[in-house]
Chain A
């Protein structure tokens, strides 16, 4: 029995897998003290990708990555060994792959006539430039819960820039202006090369095979406990000295109610929300159920 605290991670997405790895690598936590509680039969959450030639393949999108940003992600994956290339980290194999396959889109936008749209120009009017500059300099506190449409004119949403930027990142006109501004600043390097996506890096395979699987394999080797078919239903807490302390985790494990007692020194990490919540699959003959 070691004297380290125990850690419980609610949800088996990339955030929990990463947290487990940071605890082991940087916090010297023994892997066997860490439990990941996941309702699904598979880890990775939104980072999925699975299938076979008979029933087909599915994945919920494909993550784009960059090596000019993503400081924490690559910091982690520099420590995770590749499953395919012995002696290389996941970071090293991904960089090597992208050196061989430079992104350079030649058909970024296609119009109603099936013609490739010239995209060297962003299509801005002077008003669009002024509005964008104003938005990129605005203070988040003042922006509040405003939408992108509160800052830009209707014509902006017909520019080549908007079609490229919004579909690259999945922005809608009614989305948060603060988040749009953060994207403009964080990915300003992509702004100058948005029409070819030259700055975008890809994982070798889909995100599950290239990121989740090597990380999960590394954690498994360190003794981390993966508890599948475990739905966390509630947390008990008490208050002491003005601090909240989680005292128990309630769960349904394979349909059975289970309570995990939590000591004050133990740690609980909760994935508070999922962007792939309520997602469903259909087939060639059936639409995905509501």
Chain B
């Protein structure tokens, strides 16, 4: 992979197979990726956005595949021989609600961290309403926690603002240039 991508693990981030039926991506993180990981073991992960579609190199939906079949599909896209992954152990993981927080919603569908009529109950999760901040981030949960705690404990310090990068002229200018490249 280093030879193919030109990136050492931890530098390249995401590699996406844009024409793959499953829309597969893999991430080769800096090694070791686990505190207890021995030096002779390497770990990487990947994901797909369309796991219900039939693969390009495996005639099954990803959701119906075991680890060996997923590695076969990946090797197909990379044109790697299957011997490359002979000793690999691929653990497939199904996550049916992993992007549920991105689903269309109306104002009022999600509670505020502390609903206006609550005395001692707060909500903290990816499913609360926080102005301007974005879900599917660690930040969203931590921000909800800070807002809820400061309000219920009547702590008078401000919760850090969402930095308005989009109002910075330089950032806007660079984004504009990028959009015209």
- Taking a contact as CB atoms under 8 Å apart, the answer to whether A167 and B25 are in contact is yes
- Taking a contact as CB atoms under 8 Å apart, the answer to whether A105 and B135 are in contact is no
- List of B residues within 8 angstroms of A65 by Cβ: 138
> Does A204 sit within 8 A of B, measured CB to CB?
yes
| Contact code string B79-115 (vs A, CB < 8 Å = 1, else 0) | 1000000000111111111111111111100010001
A200 CA to B137 CA, complexed, in Å: 13
Contact check: which of A14, A73, A163 meets B18 at CB < 8 Å?
A163
A:1-42 near B, CB below 8 Å: 9, 11, 13-16, 18-19, 22-23, 26-27, 29
Contact check: which of A68, A107, A281 meets B7 at CB < 8 Å?
A107
> Does A52 sit within 8 A of B, measured CB to CB?
yes
Which of A53, A197, A269, A285 gathers most chain B CB within 10 Å?
A269
> Does A252 sit within 8 A of B, measured CB to CB?
no
- List of B residues within 8 angstroms of A69 by Cβ: 139, 162-163, 165
CB < 8 Å A-B pair total: 374
- List of B residues within 8 angstroms of A276 by Cβ: 95, 97-98
- Taking a contact as CB atoms under 8 Å apart, the answer to whether A70 and B139 are in contact is yes
A55 CA to B47 CA, complexed, in Å: 20
Which of A26, A103, A105, A178 gathers most chain B CB within 10 Å?
A105
Q: A264-B119, A281-B93 are in contact. Are A51 and B162 (CB under 8 A)?
A: no
> Does A146 sit within 8 A of B, measured CB to CB?
yes
- Taking a contact as CB atoms under 8 Å apart, the answer to whether A176 and B144 are in contact is no
| Contact code string B58-96 (vs A, CB < 8 Å = 1, else 0) | 000001111110000000011100000000011111111
> Does A270 sit within 8 A of B, measured CB to CB?
yes
- List of A residues within 8 angstroms of B63 by Cβ: 287-288
- Taking a contact as CB atoms under 8 Å apart, the answer to whether A141 and B107 are in contact is yes
- Closest A residue to B135 by beta carbon equals A179
- Taking a contact as CB atoms under 8 Å apart, the answer to whether B38 and A53 are in contact is yes
- Closest A residue to B79 by beta carbon equals A114
A61 CA to B91 CA, complexed, in Å: 12
> Does A242 sit within 8 A of B, measured CB to CB?
yes
- Taking a contact as CB atoms under 8 Å apart, the answer to whether B98 and A279 are in contact is yes
- Taking a contact as CB atoms under 8 Å apart, the answer to whether A51 and B163 are in contact is no
- Taking a contact as CB atoms under 8 Å apart, the answer to whether B175 and A283 are in contact is no
| Contact code string A232-270 (vs B, CB < 8 Å = 1, else 0) | 000101001011111000000000000000101111111
Contact check: which of A14, A132, A246 meets B141 at CB < 8 Å?
A14
- Taking a contact as CB atoms under 8 Å apart, the answer to whether B97 and A15 are in contact is no
A192 CA to B172 CA, complexed, in Å: 9
> Does A110 sit within 8 A of B, measured CB to CB?
yes
> Does A225 sit within 8 A of B, measured CB to CB?
no
Contact check: which of A68, A105, A166, A171 meets B165 at CB < 8 Å?
A68
Q: A19-B124, A172-B102, A270-B122 are in contact. Are A282 and B67 (CB under 8 A)?
A: yes
- List of B residues within 8 angstroms of A262 by Cβ: 120
Q: A56-B89, A61-B47 are in contact. Are A16 and B16 (CB under 8 A)?
A: no
> Does A186 sit within 8 A of B, measured CB to CB?
yes
> Does A182 sit within 8 A of B, measured CB to CB?
yes
| Contact code string A90-129 (vs B, CB < 8 Å = 1, else 0) | 0000000000011111111111101001001110100001
Residues in chain B within 8 A of chain A (CB atoms): 4-7, 10-20, 23, 25, 27, 29-30, 32-38, 41, 43, 45, 47, 49, 56, 63-68, 77-79, 89-107, 111, 115, 117-128, 132-139, 141-146, 148-150, 152-153, 155, 157, 159-163, 165-166, 171-172, 174-175, 177-181
Residues in chain A within 8 A of chain B (CB atoms): 9, 11, 13-16, 18-19, 22-23, 26-27, 29, 47, 49-53, 55-65, 68-73, 75-76, 84, 101-112, 114, 117, 120-122, 124, 129, 132, 136, 140-141, 144-147, 163-164, 166-172, 174-179, 182-189, 191-192, 197, 200, 202, 204-207, 209, 211, 213, 235, 237, 240, 242-246, 262, 264-290
Apart from A62-B29, A72-B160: 17 A-B pairs, beta carbons within 8 A: A15-B125, A52-B36, A61-B98, A63-B138, A70-B138, A73-B139, A73-B142, A101-B30, A108-B14, A170-B136, A179-B102, A186-B166, A191-B175, A207-B138, A244-B117, A245-B121, A271-B125
Q: What would be 6 A-B contacts, judged by CB atoms less than 8 Å apart?
A: A68-B165, A71-B139, A109-B16, A178-B104, A275-B101, A288-B92
